[in-house]
Structure 1
């Protein structure tokens, strides 16, 4: 009786959960890539250079558009 419940209820819900998590991770990765390219399209780095933030990020391995992409 309990094995039947496990196979008919728990396993399909577990599989659905795993599918939702995997699809969510794929969508998040795609959105991250799009947002990483967006600041370059609007000359965000040029605006940051004028504002002086580039000097603060000089010792960092990331630039301002990478930080904005991570935040979003």
Structure 2
């Protein structure tokens, strides 16, 4: 798991699929390894508790996508 551009390029040259943090978190929800609520909490914590740089608008889009696809009014 990496968001480092050089590592992604090296993986691509070796024909290895690379996935970023956001992709892994979305995949965790899709495969039911984590609940949507757990992933939303992790995403919300990224700006304050991580050195990972994610554009705020992209983070907002991912949060909105998870809410739209997996969060119901019952939760």
* TM-score normalised according to structure 1 size: 0.27
Higher helix share: 1
* TM-score normalised according to structure 2 size: 0.26
Give the number of the structure whose alpha-carbon radius of gyration is greater: 1
